Structure 1
Amino acid sequence: MGFKNFKHHLFARIGLLIVTIFIFSALIYSDSGNLSRLLLLGLVILQGYNLYYFLERSESEISIFLKRIQEETLSESEPGKQVSEPIYPEFEEVIENVRELRSDKEAQHQYLKTIVQHVTIGIITFEPSGEVQIFNSAAKSLLGVNQLGNINDLKRVSLPLVKTITELRTGGRDLVRLVRENEETQIAVYAIELSLKGETFKLISLQNIQSELEEKEMDAWQNLIRVLTHEIMNSVTPISSLAKTLEGEIQDWFKKNNVKIKDEELSDFHLALHTIHKRSDNLMAFVNEFRNMTRITLPNLKRVQIKELIERVLILLKYEIASTDIKIKLDVIPDDLRITLDENQIEQVLINLIKNAMQALQAEENEIDNPTIKIK
């Protein structure tokens, strides 16, 4: 092993130096000539210098090696070229271990960095000075910012957001309204304050909860619709039933009492009751379809005479039209024109169209002479 070789070299030098000193000491008290003593003295000095150089070189190279480890500047191509040969194997092993640790550390760093960049929740970390350390892809997309050097740079996006981010403490949460490109977004902001290696920083997570709010709003609307449709059905059902009953009883009363009435008046009276009954049924059908807003109902198609359908709508709106100066002109060619459609849905459409037209004419600032709605 390298360190054993190092010790062998060291002990050999020390041993040889001791032997030389011992011989030199013996020569001093012997009858040997001065030349022999000078040669041995020179040898002692040379061996002493060699031992000093050996120890100094080893200490220097170990210091350089440790400094390189501390600075993490180990050469990957020449791991031990500047290290003493006797202890090189151990140095090489240490170098390989350090490299492996650095490689594992870098791999873990890249792994965590990739995770942070790909999570769907926006993440921002910054120091007390405001300098941003992490600004992931989700946060960039949510805020519409590609680069962020300081947290205060977000003021150009939203002042309330920056205020919330800087004031929140560990465990705090708040809701911020963000408007981008005329589109409103509700962002949930969460904060955690951390301390790492004596340095403090704040971690902010941002989450777009607009879809969750819209979903809850839709649930609330659906609950309201269910309540309203229930109340409307309870109110409309008796009207339809009474109109149908009244229509039958009046016909029976006319026949029983032999009451004479003009055919035209009887026809209008009968048609009015029939229209009330029919419209009530259609309204109930419309409410039933409206009850479930998430389902698109299939139309109930059948052949319908257009003129009869429009006249029924006009009778329904007769008194509302009479309260205005608006005239209605109906022109259907031919009179018996029939079209395949959903009678209930188209009837509701016609009612809305005629009412909208009447409101538009009444809303005109300049009065129109002989306001007329033409239906062709």
Structure 2
Amino acid sequence: MNQSFLVHVLIRILLIAGVSFGIGWALFSMQSIVISVGLFVILFIQIINLIHYQNSVNERIRYFFEAVKNEDFSQAFSIQKGDKIIQELNQSLQEINRKIQQIKIENHQQEQYFRALIEHVGTGILTYDDRGFVIHANSTLKKMLGLEQFTHLKQLERIDDSLLHALKQIQQQDRKLITFNGKQGKVNVSIRASSFKNKDQTLTLLSVQDINRELDEKELDSWMRLIRVLTHEIMNSIAPVTSLSESLASYFQKDGKAISPEEVNEKMIGTTIRGLEVIREQGRGLIKFVESYRKLTRLPKPDKKVIRVNDLLEKMILLNQVQNQDSSIQLEKKLQSADLDIQADEKLISQVLINLIKNSREALAETENARIVLLAGRNKNGQVEICVKDNGPGIPTDMLDEIFVPFFTTRENGSGIGLSLSRQILRLHGGSLNARSVPNKETLFCLLFNQ
């Protein structure tokens, strides 16, 4: 079509040029005025024809783009009228129109598919603009919030002011755990945010995950493990007492009746005294066990102050040297920066480090070239991390989750309270205590401070 159009335009221009040359010849050769006027008329007609021809093409193109701009794809371009060039143009425009219609239909179908997909996911999806107007909120989110219609973030004020405040404070690629009061009680959600540009608007996309069930399952699992340990420890203390008391009672009973004082002898008295001493010791052990449990529930609120990490680790090394002068275990420190600081309660954090170093020393009892390293620095998220690392036998993978359960211990004389207490202290500081181990290579216990 392009070549045909150019040929038609070129022919018209050549005709105009030829007539113009004829007019020039007629005027200079003083030919008849009638001939000159006739040529002028022919020139005028040819110019009008060229303009009309060009405008007819431009008009159809302009008409097509107007329809596209207005998203009107119902217009038809006749291929039965006009000359061959116009017919070819109409056919091309008609073909483009059909392709745009097809793309429009496919995009609409894809949009419907993604909308249906978003509606069926178990995660709440929310999109809103800079003014707080909700662009889209799926049914999961509205059900989570207890809203039938959700058009603006201000509606969250009727649910919980803290929820609206948290959404206003959330940053791009940020993730927050938020608790708010819903219609069915407290709801715990994990929110992740991201933003993107849509035309001249900046939109925020939130994914909101209800973690109540996950927390309930973890809490139930923790309780079950704790109950198993408590049951085990209490049964170990009570069973001997029950058995021994029954044996002692049998000395002073016969056929279900108490024996007479004359039947009591020195051997029975001695056996009874020894049995009562055993019962007393078991009772004291049980009281000590309960006291250990009370420690977990009665930790003081941390008195946080700025602590220079280097000074803290130096104290740990000095204390270890004083308490273990004859030990062959090497203890050293490694810091990324000498001016590393944390906001913490020095007494509580020292208690955690002392307990971890003590555990490492016990684990290294039969290890050659035993070594403990106190590591300190910032992780990739900029958080301060203090680790106690040793080259002992390590911890089996299946026990890494168990070691923090209260009263769980693998040592004969262990109370099983140290690591549980240490993790609780870190939680009170807003941090965490985690462990990782490679059997027969290394074990690390890391204190993470979210500062």
Q: In the alignment, is the contact (CA less than 8 A) between 2:67 and 2:73 conserved in 1?
A: no
The residue aligned with 2:63 is 64
Q: Structure 1 residue aligned with 2:98, among 82, 96, 99?
A: 96
- Root-mean-square deviation (CA), in Å? 3.3
| 1:76 equivalent among 74, 77, 89 | 74
Q: CA deviation at 1:126?
A: 1.2
What's the CA shift for 1:251? 4.6
| 1:43 partnered with 2:42 | yes
Q: Deviations over 1:255-279 (max 9, x none)?
A: 9x99899xxxxxxxxxxxxxxxxxx
Residue 167 of structure 2, aligned match among 156, 165, 182: 165
Which of 216, 219, 222 is the equivalent residue of 1:214?
Answer: 216
Higher strand share: 2
**Matched length:** 258
* Mapping 1:200-279, distance limit 5 Å: 200-251=202-253
* Stretch of structure 1 that moved more, 234-243 or 206-215: 234-243
Q: Offset of 1:116 from its aligned partner? A: 2.2
Taking the aligned partners of 2:11 and 2:189, their CA distance within structure 1 comes to: 76
Give the aligned partner of residue 145 of structure 2.
Answer: 143
Q: Within 2, Cα distance between the matches of 1:106 and 1:234?
A: 69
Structure 1 residues 80, 126: closer, same or farther in 2, change over 3 A? farther
Contact 1:27 1:37 in 2 (8 A): yes
| Residue 115 (structure 1) aligns with | 117
- Displacement of 1:92 after TM fit? 2.8
User: Counterpart in 2 of 1:282?
Assistant: none
Which secondary structure does the structure 1 equivalent of 2:197 belong to?
A: strand
Q: Indicate whether 1:9 and 2:8 are aligned.
A: yes
Contact 1:3 1:86 (8 Å CA) reproduced: no
The residue type paired with residue 21 of structure 1 is S
Q: Contact 1:193–1:203 (CA<8 Å) still a contact in 2?
A: yes
Displacement, 1:232? 2.7
SS in structure 2 at match of 1:191? strand
**Residue 156 of structure 2 corresponds to which residue in structure 1?**
154
- Matched position secondary structure for 1:110: helix
Is residue 2:191 matched to residue 1:193?
A: no
Partner secondary structure for residue 172 of structure 2: coil
**Alpha-carbon shift at residue 76 of structure 1 (Å):** 3.0
Segments of structure 1 that go 5 or more residues without pairing to the other structure are 262-376
Counterpart amino acid of 2:58? E
Q: Which amino acid aligns with 1:156?
A: R
Q: Do the aligned partners of residues 19 and 149 (structure 1) sit closer, same or farther apart at CA in structure 2, a change above 3 Å counting?
A: same
Contact 1:165 1:191 survives alignment (8 Å): no
- 1:120–1:138 CA contact under 8 A, matched in 2: yes
- Distance in 2, matches of 1:193 and 1:38, equals 72
Over 3 Å counting, the alpha-carbon distance change for 1:174 and 1:26 in structure 2 is closer
Asked if the contact 2:172/2:194 (under 8 Å) is kept, the reply is yes
Partner of 1:18: 17
Equivalent pairs: percent with the same residue? Answer: 26
Shift of 1:186: 1.6
Any idea what SS the aligned residue of 1:224 has?
helix
Give 1:86 shift.
Answer: 5.0
CA distance in 1 between counterparts of 2:113 and 2:70 reads 21
Q: Deviations over 1:189-246 (max 9, x none)?
A: 2222333444322222211111111111112211221122123322332243234423
Could you state the TM-score of these two structures normalised by the residue count of structure 2? 0.50
1:311 maps to none
Q: Which amino acid aligns with 2:93?
A: F
Alignment check: 8 A CA contact 1:191 1:204 kept: yes
